[in-house]
Amino acid sequence: MKKILTGLKPTGDLTLGNYIGAISQMVKLQDEYESFVFVADLHALTTYQNPDELRQRIRKFIAMYIACGIDPKKNTIYIQSENEYLGNISYLLECSTTYGEASRMIQFKEKSKQNANFSVGLLTYPILMASDILYCDTDLVPVGIDQKQHVELARNIAERFNNKYGYTFKLPEPFINSNGQKINDLKYPDKKMSKSEENPNGVISLFDSVEDVKSKIKKATTDSLNNIHYDKENQPGISNLLNIASILDNASIEELENRFKGKGYGEFKSYVADVVGNFIEKIQAKYNEIINSKELDEILDAGIKKSRELAREKYELMKERMGLIR
C-alpha cells in the first residue's frame, strides 16, 4: 500500500478552508493509502507562538482531525515535536542541502522580506519538512500549490543523499488534488480564507459557535446582480458560497443554481448558513466528546510509537551510510 502524509501547522484555528482543502481530502484518501497525519508544531515556531496557546491548539487540532473523520484505525496520528529523531534527521539532511537552494525557496524569500529579524528556522524549516516526508518513505504528499516547491526540495535532497551515500530514501511526489477546492474569505472573496487573517468576519473557524458562523455567512460580501449563479470573476462572493454549500450539502453547483433560480440572496444565505451551521454543530459534538478523553492520548501514544520507530530506523541507516558508527 502506498504511503501518504499530511501535517497542518498550528499557527491559528483550523478553518473551513482547511477542512475542505486539506482534511476532507485526507478523509477521502485514508482508505486507499497508508496515511500519516500530524500536527506540524515545530513548523509553527519559525515565528513566536504564545506557549500556552500553542499547547492548547496542538491538542485541539488532533481532536478536530478526528472529529472531521480522520479515522485513528486507518491513520498514524501524532504530534511532530514528540518525535525527537526528526530534528536529528533534519540536521543530517541540512548537510546535503546547499544554502543557495534553501534561500531560493519562495516562502523564505517572501517571509524574510516581511520581517528583518527572521529566524534561521525560517530558512531551515523546509529541510525539517523534508525530514517529515522522507523518514517514513512517503510516496505522496498532498499539498497546495504554495508548498509544492518544498516537496520538490525534499525530493532533490533525497536524490542527492542517495547519490552520495547509497540508496536510503524513497523519492516523494507532490500530490496536487485538482478536486481540492479553494475556499475564499467571506468578506474579501477574491482572497483565500486563511487562519492567519486578521479580520475574523471573513473566516469560519471550525471552533466558532453556530450562531457566529450563521451570522458571518449572512454578512458575507455578495454583489448587486441578484442572481444566484456560479461566476468567479463577476460574482466571487456568491460563487464562494455556492462552492461551500455544494461541498458540505453534497449537491452540485448546477442543482443549487436551479433550486435558487429567481430567489433572493437573503433566502440563499439562510440556506448556506444552515448547511454550514449543521456541519459545525456535528463536528463540534464529536470534538467535545474526545478533546478531554483518555482515548485521544491513547491514539497519540500509539501514533508517536510507530512514527518514532520508523524515524529511529531511518536515522540509524543514515548514520551508518554516512560513517557515523563506532
Q: Which of 5, 10, 13, 22 binds ligand AMP (CB under 6 A)?
A: 22
The closest residue (CB) to ligand AMP is: 21
Q: Is residue 174 within 8 Å of 154, Cβ to Cβ?
A: no
Alpha-carbon gap, residue 282 to 69, rounded angstroms: 11
Size of the site for ligand AMP (CB under 6 A): 15
Dihedral angle sign, alpha carbons of residues 231, 235, 240, 243: negative
Active site residue 187: no
Catalytic entry in 74, 195, 286, 306: 195
Residue with smaller CB distance to ligand AMP, 26 or 63 = 26
**Does 18 help bind ligand AMP (rule: CB under 6 A)?**
yes
DSSP string of 51-102?
HHHHHHHHHHHHHHHHHTT--TTTEEEEEGGG-THHHHHHHHHHTTS-HHHH
Active site residue 192: yes
Q: Is residue 36 within 8 Å of 1, Cβ to Cβ?
A: no
C-alpha cell at 259: 433550486
Q: What does the per-residue mask of binding to ligand AMP show for 169-208, with x meaning CB under 6 A? A: -------------xx--------xxxx-------------
Residues near 184 by beta carbon (within 8 Å), at least 6 away in sequence:
190, 191, 192, 193, 236, 240
Helices (H) and strands (E) in the chain, counts: 14, 5
Residues 46-105 that bind ligand AMP (CB under 6 A): none
**Does 21 help bind ligand AMP (rule: CB under 6 A)?**
yes
Residue 194 beta carbon to ligand AMP: minimum distance, rounded to whole angstroms? 6
Active site residue 306: no
**Does 141 help bind ligand AMP (rule: CB under 6 A)?**
no
Query: Which residues contact ligand AMP (rule: CB under 6 A)?
Result: 8-9, 17-18, 20-22, 143-144, 182-183, 192-195
Give the residue numbers marked as catalytic: 111, 192, 195
